[in-house]
Each structure stands twice: as structure tokens, then as C-alpha cells.
Amino acid sequence: MSIMLFVIVLVASFTIVRIGAVAFQLTGLEWSLAKFQSLSCFSGTGFTTKEAELITGHPQRRRIATFLIVLGNAGLVTMVASVASALNPQQAIWAKLSESLLPVSVPPYIVPWVNLIIIVIAVYVVYRVFTHKKFTLKLTNLLRKKIAGREIFKPLSFEEFFLITSGYGIAKINVGEKDPLLEKTLAESKLREKDMIVLAVIRDDNVIPNPPANTKILLGDELISFGKLESIKAKRFAES
């Protein structure tokens, strides 16, 4: 019975972590970060100060984290108790069955090892199932459909955006007289090939948000660009 309880709690733990990851993602967290945060909350390990602020500073995420922490602690206690019981020969069902069903009684000292092998196999099988791409994809899509209607969506904040896009950022490029971008369209500038995207063009007192590819770059324009910061710096140094 203790081994069966262990397996049930183990399967439930993997499922709960996946539910937490989907819930975190629906609040705006990037998927890989959502999975890590869900596992961190459930296991009580792995947090960094910056990433913890993404959870504690968001009411909905705090509720999700609380749910994961409480269930994680309960699950850990249950699994530890189940393993302890399974490794105790006096409480093992296997030993009781062996007395009545087998012609030769199983020595009590063998029972813990048999149960330990069963537990290891159970952990391996459950882990393989929950890391199988097709299974996890179907499970994730199912959970996402179930959770999506609970209105936990939220736009991504700048702080979160910069955290999950490490090495990338937003910078302003001033177009001068000798700038190679001058009089070219955004398509002709080939900034995208240099891992830069122009989010907006500031021209005099006007702002052109999400400018089309045929927008011509004029003298005095300010290009609000998102991209790899090293590429943006290299572009600005090249201008000088």
C-alpha cells in the first residue's frame, strides 16, 4: 500500500508542477522560466533574488506559488513517509503475502531491497513518461485549455521582458550626416540581419510606432531599436 501511495503522489507531483508552469506562463512568464519557477516553488529550491521578485510582486503569481509550495511540502512528507514504510520489513505487504502465497517465506531482510527496486523503477518510469515530448505536449495543451479561461493573463512588464531576454535590450540610435543608414528604407538598412529591430522612429516631435519596412530614414531621426546590445553598440561605434 505504501508503494502504491508513493507512485500516486509521484504522478500527482509531476502533474501539479506542469499545472503550475502553465499557470505561470498564462500570467506572462516565458515558458522555460515558468517551468523553472513552478519546479522551484514545488520543491522549495532554485530561486534567485531577481526571479523571486517576479513572483512576489505579482498577486496572481503569489497565489500560484502558494498553491505549489503547500502541495509540494505535503507531497514531500507523504513520499518520505511512504518510502520509510516500504523499507520497513514489519509493515510490508509483500512479507505478509509471502507467508500465505509462497511455499517458502521471504526473509524479512530482503523485503526492503525488493521495495527499493520497485520504487526506483517507478520513479524512472514516471520520469520517462512525463519527459516524453508527445505526452508532455498533449498534457500541456490540455491543461492550458482548462486554465486559460480563468483570466490570469497579464501583459509582460519591461522588467520581466529584460530578464527573460538576457543580452538584449532597447537603445536609441541617432541618425547623423555620415550615418550609412541615411536616406535608406528600413528594409534597405538590413538592421534585422544584424539582430536589430526598429520599434519606433522619432522624427521631430512625431513618433512613428512599428514603422513599415518602406519607411525612409532621414537626417535627425531617432531609431528606438531592440536587439542584441553588443550589435547596437557596434553600430553606434561604427557611426563615430
- Average predicted confidence (pLDDT) for the chain: 76
Structural domain total, the chain: 2
For the cut 50, the answer to whether the pLDDT of residue 240 exceeds it is: no
State pLDDT tens for residues 170-225: 878 888 888 888 899 998 988 888 788 898 999 987 889 889 889 999 999 999 88
Same domain? For 175 and 133 the reply is: no
Supply the pLDDT for residue 150. 54
State pLDDT tens for residues 206-215: 889 889 889 9
Same domain? For 187 and 141 the reply is: no
Pick left, alpha or beta for residue 71 (phi over 0 → left; psi -120 to 50 → alpha; otherwise beta).
alpha
* End residue of a domain, out of 109, 130, 155: 155
- 207 within some domain: yes
Same domain? For 177 and 203 the reply is: yes
CA–CA separation, 70 and 87 (whole Å): 26
Same domain? For 120 and 200 the reply is: no
Supply the pLDDT for residue 102. 44
pTM: 0.52
* End residue of a domain, out of 155, 180, 196: 155
- 119 within some domain: yes
Same domain? For 23 and 49 the reply is: yes
Same domain? For 124 and 171 the reply is: no
Residue ranges of E strands in 6-99: none
Which carries the bigger pLDDT value, residue 103 or residue 186?
186
Which carries the bigger pLDDT value, residue 94 or residue 203?
203
- 160 within some domain: no
Q: How confident is the model at residue 48 (pLDDT cuts 50, 70, 90)?
A: low
- 161 within some domain: no
CATH of the domain at 188: 3.30.70.1450
Lateral strand order in the sheet of 168-174: 168-174, 222-228, 196-203, 206-209
What stretch of H or E contains 9? helix 2-26
- 27 within some domain: yes
Same domain? For 123 and 215 the reply is: no
Q: How large is the average pLDDT for residues 39-58? A: 73
Same domain? For 147 and 195 the reply is: no
Same domain? For 44 and 112 the reply is: yes
CA atoms within a 13 Å half-sphere pointing along the CA-CB vector of 87 = 12
Same domain? For 42 and 95 the reply is: yes
Q: Which domain holds residue 113?
A: 2-155
Same domain? For 177 and 148 the reply is: no
Supply the pLDDT for residue 101. 43
Q: Which residues pair with 186 in a beta bridge?
A: none
| Residue 72, CA distances (Å) to 42, 46, 66, 232 in order | 4, 14, 10, 44
Q: Which residues pair with 196 in a beta bridge?
A: 227
- Cβ–Cβ < 8 Å for 55, 7: no
Residue ranges of E strands in 61-167: none
Residue ranges of E strands in 93-189: 168-174
Same domain? For 108 and 174 the reply is: no
- 137 within some domain: yes
Buried b (16+ CB within 10 A) or exposed e, 69-83: bebbeebeebbeebb
For the cut 60, the answer to whether the pLDDT of residue 159 exceeds it is: no
Which carries the bigger pLDDT value, residue 166 or residue 58?
58
